[in-house]
Amino acid sequence: EADIYQTPRYLVIGTGKKITLECSQTMGHDKMYWYQQDPGMELHLIHYSYGVNSTEKGDLSSESTVSRIRTEHFPLTLESARPSHTSQYLCASSWGGSGANVLTFGAGSRLTVL
Amino acid sequence: AQSVTQLDSQVPVFEEAPVELRCNYSSSVSVYLFWYVQYPNQGLQLLLKYLSGSTLVKGINGFEAEFNKSQTSFHLRKPSVHISDTAEYFCAVSGGGLSSGSARQLTFGSGTQLTVLP
């Protein structure tokens, strides 16, 4: 059973459009993450959050932005999509008390920008 | 800094044969090690993890992995694979102990595509 939900699963849009990828988790996890995944490549962390109103950029530079107004919700926004943003975006969460960084992942949002 | 190398990008194997997916890491501190699996059109799910203690770790679906500190390896094995094991497998490392407070320190390998042939 998935406890972390991502919508949309697939999105095809034109250049210049604003898009928001939604991510919600029902586990009460305090930490949430966005990863970018391209075929044959490792996952790259682009955003993470330690809790409400706490967000930081990850290792891979990204033009996207995130917000964390509620514990369970961590949306990612691209103000003006470009073909270079075409990728799969994975949302994940973890519980700070676990001490071992075990992530629970959503099913992913595959974005194609034409 | 830490890094993870998955030595094989693709591993084809026949059904019921054994398989080993190789993972080497580099880190200057003690580590936690993980294997995640990603089935087609799905997110990643945890297969197994090494935190401390026994170096042989058993996970779900009959997989196991052995932590070898001297060789800095954490290879994944299964004695007999099934068609349903076809998926991408990711090795990951994070700093252990006090640095383990968040997956902010988690580093993934580039993945190994396991394809089980009938």
Considering only CB atoms, B45 lies closest to which of A58, A105, A108, namely: A105
Q: What is the pLDDT of residue A96?
A: 65
Nearest chain B residue to A10 by CA distance is: B41
The mean pLDDT value for B25-50 works out to 89
The mean pLDDT value for B6-25 works out to 96
Q: What is the pLDDT of residue B99?
A: 45
Q: What percent of chain B has pLDDT over 90?
A: 71
The Cα B76–Cα B43 span in angstroms is: 19
Q: What is the pLDDT of residue A97?
A: 60
Asked if B25 contacts B91 with a C-beta cutoff of 8 angstroms, the reply is yes
Say if residue B109's pLDDT is above 80. Answer: yes
Q: What is the pLDDT of residue B91?
A: 96
Considering only CB atoms, A100 lies closest to which of B32, B45, B90, namely: B32
Residue predicted with more confidence, B31 or B74: B74
The mean pLDDT value for B64-77 works out to 95
Here the tokens at position A64 are 């996207």
Which of B15-47 are b and which e, b meaning 16 or more Cβ less than 10 Å from the residue's Cβ? Answer: eeeebebbbbbebeeebbbbbbbbeeeebbebb
Nearest chain B residue to A106 by CA distance is: B43
* Span B89-104, pLDDT tens digits: 999 988 765 444 455 6
* A chain contacts of residue B25, beta-carbon cutoff 8 Å: none
Q: What is the pLDDT of residue B101?
A: 46
Contact B101 A99 (CB under 8 A): yes
* B chain contacts of residue A101, beta-carbon cutoff 8 Å: 32, 34, 94, 100, 102-103, 105-106
Nearest chain B residue to A93 by CA distance is: B103
* A chain contacts of residue B89, beta-carbon cutoff 8 Å: none
Residue predicted with more confidence, B3 or B102: B3
Taking only the tens of pLDDT, chain A with its 114 residues reads 559 999 999 999 999 999 999 999 999 898 999 999 998 788 899 999 989 999 998 888 788 999 999 999 999 999 999 999 999 999 999 886 655 668 899 999 999 999
Nearest chain B residue to A91 by CA distance is: B43
Question: Number of CB pairs < 8 Å for A and B?
Answer: 73
* A chain contacts of residue B109, beta-carbon cutoff 8 Å: 42
Q: What is the pLDDT of residue B29?
A: 73
Smallest Cα–Cα separation from B52: which of B76, B28, B85, B30?
A: B30
